[in-house]
Structure 1
Amino acid sequence: MNIVTTPDSVLPIALDAMARTPNPRLREVIASLTRHLHAFVQEVKLSEEEFEQALDFIVAIGQATGEKKNEVVLAADILGISTLVALQNNQDPQGESPSALLGPFWRANAPDCACGDSIARSGTPGVPLFVSGVVRDGQGRPLADAMVDVWQASPVGLYENQDPTQENMNLRGRFRTDAEGRYHFRSVRPAGYPVPVDGPCGVLLKAQRRHPNRPAHLHFMVSKPGFKVLVSQVYADDDENLESDPTFGVTRRLIGRYALQPDGQSATLAYDFQLEPGETKFPRPPIP
């Protein structure tokens, strides 16, 4: 009889109940997850009190998610899961540009801009930044009419949806590459910023004695029909938190040179992207 008798007897009975799942991928994923969870519970000898705390944490990250913040995505970020998924699914076999986690602040339908436009629309103070680069395919050929979607935090470390002093969609924009695959735009130099710490993820970081400060970066999402959508970030090479990013998002190839110009009044970033052929599938926006 499939009746539970001991702790070890629960897993095979649970797996047997799930074995009739018609979808083979769902059956595989949930069965594997169940095996790992059961092994984890037994390995750490999870107490009933700790189990309640874990359930409270899961409930809390859902309750803390809304129009301004996605705490569920943030939890995946600070546990390193988002970066692991991004790297595992984007191995750049032909030298394609490295992928990075999406983060909790991407918004769909950013304003369409002409190359050379500024995405700083709210009179955003800061060091002027000129960004340029080329989008290519796996053979190094320039890709015309590729979409370069960019977004960033302000120099005080806030995305516009977090800051009532910034107008809607400030520091966001979408640019089309020209016939030579080139893009360029103007902005202000981004600053590092703390991930939100006013929810359960902040409590977890504090309990682990981890700081919340992400290194300064620009977000990019580069796309063109017939190619995989590239989600990436380019980090400032002089940031003190490159080796302690709380989301583990920094990889060596994602570090760019934010070069201060001789006048000391402006900076430049040159960064090229190479796309991988595949399905053009966009992620679901974490926030509206």
Structure 2
Amino acid sequence: MRSMTENELTDVVVERYRATPDARLQEILLSLIRHAHAFVRDVRLTETEWMKGVEFLTATGHMCDDKRQEMILLSDNLGISALVNMVSAGVPEGATETTVLGPFYVPNSPQRAWGESILLRDSDEIPLIVHGRVVDEDGTPLPGAGIEVWQTDSNGMYDIQDSSQPEDNLRGHYTANEEGRFLIRSIRPTSYPIPTDGPVGVLLRATNRHPFRPAHLHAIVTAPGHQPLTTHLFDAEDKYLDSDVVFAVKESLIRKFTKNEDPGAAERFGLSGPFWELDNDFVLSKARS
């Protein structure tokens, strides 16, 4: 084989992958090859640097298990998860915006009854009541819609990170009633640092970035005939809204948590004292054809 230039090598590699039978896989691979080769040429990557990159990705994979997804954490911290969400979401105007899933989602959360608390430990903290409706773009209620929620405890850790928490603490799956309404009981979310004891932490320290996420409640909302919604509800008073370590804040998802001290309102929600309240509707878009 004759000697090749850098650009000719890229052309040869692309040509060898051009026979990929799946058209979409071919499109993705050819673009990936071109961009990856262009990156190597652009920064004049050395073999030593490339091996450090390989070692970093290998270590990232080794940190993954059934309770921790360091690869997703890396994708989040590079802004790739947020960008994929922007590119692929396709949310029409008027529908609730989506954002990243995050690395601490656990499928099959337990079903919770109307207004049942997802906090499974004893607490003297002021409760949070989240209520509202699930509707379509025309405002029509969606009875039976599923609302799955999860969040950190007040120590800034999810249950799968913290063995002192009960299993499925601050996780739950609610069902909207015949009017599309739901009622969730929790505690006010707090800002928290993502795990920094693995490769992502090494990257954050090397780049002088903080590890914090603003306070938020995760939600996945589903209804037949509608596009599933993966989103967050962010606390409007949090100081990290403008510097979320995973770039996932969207202005339309910022909410004001209001302290309600009305005894009558507390009684209606089965409470005996003041509580934080969030009235929030989820607006789902029609399923794509």
* Alignment TM-score, normalising by the size of structure 2: 0.93
1:144–1:177 CA contact under 8 A, matched in 2: yes
* 3-state SS of paired residue (2:203): helix
Q: Would you say 1:111 and 2:110 are equivalent positions?
A: yes
Who is 1:98 aligned against? 97
Q: CA RMSD in A?
A: 1.6
The alpha-carbon distance between structure 1 residues 71 and 125, as it changes in their structure 2 partners (threshold 3 A), is farther
Who is 1:274 aligned against? 283
Who is 2:66 aligned against? 67
Who is 1:11 aligned against? 10
Q: Take 2:261 and 2:111, find their aligned partners in 1: how far apart are those partners? A: 32
Letter in 1 for 2:166: E
Q: Take 1:122 and 1:108, find their aligned partners in 2: how far apart are those partners? A: 21
Structure 1, gaps ≥5 residues long: 281-288
1:126–1:155 CA contact under 8 A, matched in 2: no
Q: Take 1:250 and 1:189, find their aligned partners in 2: how far apart are those partners? A: 18
Q: Take 2:74 and 2:130, find their aligned partners in 1: how far apart are those partners? A: 31
Q: Take 2:24 and 2:106, find their aligned partners in 1: how far apart are those partners? A: 30
Structure 2, gaps ≥5 residues long: 263-272
Query: What pairs up with 1:35-184 in 2 under 5 angstroms?
Result: 35-124=34-123, 126-184=125-183
Who is 2:221 aligned against? 222
Q: Take 1:279 and 1:188, find their aligned partners in 2: how far apart are those partners? A: 35
**1:90 CA displacement:** 1.9
**1:197 CA displacement:** 0.4
Per-residue CA shift, 1:105-124, capped at 9, x if unaligned? 11111111111110001224
Who is 2:270 aligned against? none
Per-residue CA shift, 1:154-201, capped at 9, x if unaligned? 011010111111111010011110111111111111111101101000
1:125–1:155 CA contact under 8 A, matched in 2: no
Letter in 2 for 1:267: W
1:145–1:224 CA contact under 8 A, matched in 2: yes
* 3-state SS of paired residue (1:162): coil
Q: Take 2:136 and 2:55, find their aligned partners in 1: how far apart are those partners? A: 47
Equivalent residues, number: 279
**1:39 CA displacement:** 0.6
Matched residues, percent identical? 40
1:146–1:223 CA contact under 8 A, matched in 2: yes
Who is 2:238 aligned against? 239
